Amino acid sequence: MKSQNAISPTRSEDFPEWFQQIVRAADLAENSEVRGCMVIKPWGYALWERMRWVLDGMFKATGHRNAYFPLFIPLSHLAREAAHVEGFAKECAVVTHHRLEMRDGKLVPVGELTEPLVVRPTSETIIGAAYARWVKSWRDLPVLLNQWANVVRWEMRPRLFLRTAEFLWQEGHTAHETRAEAEEETLRMLRVYERFAREYLALPVCVGEKSAGERFPGAERTYCIEAMVQDRKAIQAGTSHFLGQNFSKASDIKFQSRDGGIEHAWTTSWGVSTRLIGTMLMAHGDDDGIILPPRVASAHVVILPITPKEESRAAVLAAATDLASRLRDQRFDGLPLEVELDTRDVGGGVKNWEWIKKGIPLRVEIGPRDLEQGTVAVSRRDQPHKTKSFLTVEEAVARLPEILGDIQANLLARAEAFQNEHTRKIDSQEEFKAFFTPKNPEKPEIHGGFALTHWDGSAAVEEQVKADLKVTIRCIPFEEAPEPGICPFSGNPSPQRVIWAKSY
């Protein structure tokens, strides 16, 4: 029988609500007084700090530097690129006044701005204006910058860590002398995201290009990494955009070429956000809470002193403190082990469940009997909560880093197996519809997955499938030898299979 402390509802009962509950149970974040905005608590923010630190190193290793650009974007800047403004218009928050005054006992906005300011939904236009000032010659190129910032997109159906009106992200923006250099940059950064997702988040993402209907507004090409989570839906975990010369023409980023002519720069943009946290949690969590991959975990190990009797308390705490110190001298993934020592005067069962829900990779219990035997009880978060192994203190100090590596590999292997199990080649409309339709609409069970199905490239087909089944093309996967076939929706020839799925 499942413990009363486990998450309710379970994944199979109500996956969306399960996700909200594991976020709350892990004390990662909560909704704020502003609808659609969240408060990220320390345990959750530590995840973002770790992700940011790793990604920042990857960006700098590929020649990028950090900068910061304004939160407010003049409306005229956003309007310069027609497709861009159309794509973001419905999500924009706009500042129209700059002062408040008390009138009739109420604060009212006064001091209307001469030009409305859009609160940053993305920064192509404001950064483009800066690049237009900075770039004069081919010698000024490439410009390889990234910024860590917050953005605002007015979300009507918010969900913690998935869709919020304000969220944290990074956005890279680069300008290049040639088309080839910009295209190479776009794919290079896509591969950085793929590597980070697989090696750090244990997410086996699919990599490919977005269809025209799913493309970033104003881009020539959009590439993406798509992850499958445990309700078999897709999450767009990261994107990299080849913008061509669209934004450089809109922002007038021109330079003198090597032969003395005047040309427009070729630009890119690419980004990931705190949505990565939600994706990771939905991919790995279970009905007891979140499960954190060790390479991005807020902490690696928690030591839980068990002190049922006051006379043994001091000795147990001393042993636990000594073990914590020794473990902190060990290294995992090139860094010192992060160790929590939970000395709160609460029941051992309560403390254990709190850390299970927080997803910490390893729990180490030490009590009076362990002191007598010179052992500790080690529990892995990727195994059932009652599973324990007993190690000597020396074994624990030596082996915990190795066990963390095993947990990291196991989470990726489990996620890969799950994705493979729920990815299917489908060649008929009937099978496609059945794959994405719950058998009992009144109480829909988890269904669907990734359908590898041919598509003739028609926007009409794409829009019809979306309207009928709420299924979209998640990506056109990169393939060395694409398999041609027949689109089951139109009967027309198709150059290759694409990935269709329901998505967040």
Residue 199 lies in a domain: yes
3-class DSSP state of 231: coil
The last residue of a domain, from among 234, 256, 284: 284
Q: What residue type is assigned to position 90 of the chain? A: K
Determine contact, residues 499/450, Cβ cutoff 8 Å.
yes
Secondary structure letter of residue 216 according to DSSP: P
Residue 276 and residue 309 share a domain: no
In this prediction, residues 108-132 reach a mean pLDDT of 96
The last residue of a domain, from among 284, 318, 343: 284
Q: What are 425-457's pLDDT values in tens digits?
A: 999 999 999 999 998 877 778 999 999 999 999
Residue 62 and residue 83 share a domain: yes
Question: Strand 266-273 relative to strand 262-264: parallel, antiparallel, unpaired?
Answer: unpaired
Please confirm whether the linkage preceding 217 is cis (ω < 30° from 0).
Answer: no
Q: How far is CA 424 from CA 329, 421, 485, in A?
A: 47, 8, 16
Residue 90 and residue 131 share a domain: yes
Residue 2 lies in a domain: no
Residue 341 lies in a domain: yes
Residue 412 lies in a domain: no
Q: What are 338-384's pLDDT values in tens digits?
A: 999 999 988 888 999 999 999 999 999 999 999 999 999 999 999 99
Residue 322 and residue 265 share a domain: no
Domain CATH code at residue 358 = 3.40.50.800
- Output the 3-class SS for 77-128: HHCCCHHHHHHHHHHCEEEEEEEEEEECCEEEEEEEEEEEEEECCCCHHHHH
Residue 323 and residue 240 share a domain: no
Residue 316 lies in a domain: yes
Strand partners, 137: 256
CA distance 229 to 270: 23
The last residue of a domain, from among 284, 314, 345: 284
Please confirm whether the linkage preceding 116 is cis (ω < 30° from 0).
Answer: no
Residue 1 lies in a domain: no
User: For the residues of 361-392, what is the DSSP string, one character each?
Assistant: SEEEEE-HHHHHHTEEEEEETTS-TT--EEEE
Q: pLDDT over 70 for what percent of the chain?
A: 99
Range of the domain at 207: 15-284
Domain CATH code at residue 463 = 3.30.110.30
Residue 247 and residue 316 share a domain: no
The pLDDT confidence band at residue 2, using thresholds 50, 70 and 90, is: very low
Q: What are 224-266's pLDDT values in tens digits?
A: 999 999 999 999 999 999 999 999 999 999 999 999 999 999 9
Residue 6 lies in a domain: no
Residue 111 lies in a domain: yes
Domain CATH code at residue 66 = 3.30.930.10
Q: How many domains does the chain have?
A: 3
Residue 266 and residue 365 share a domain: no
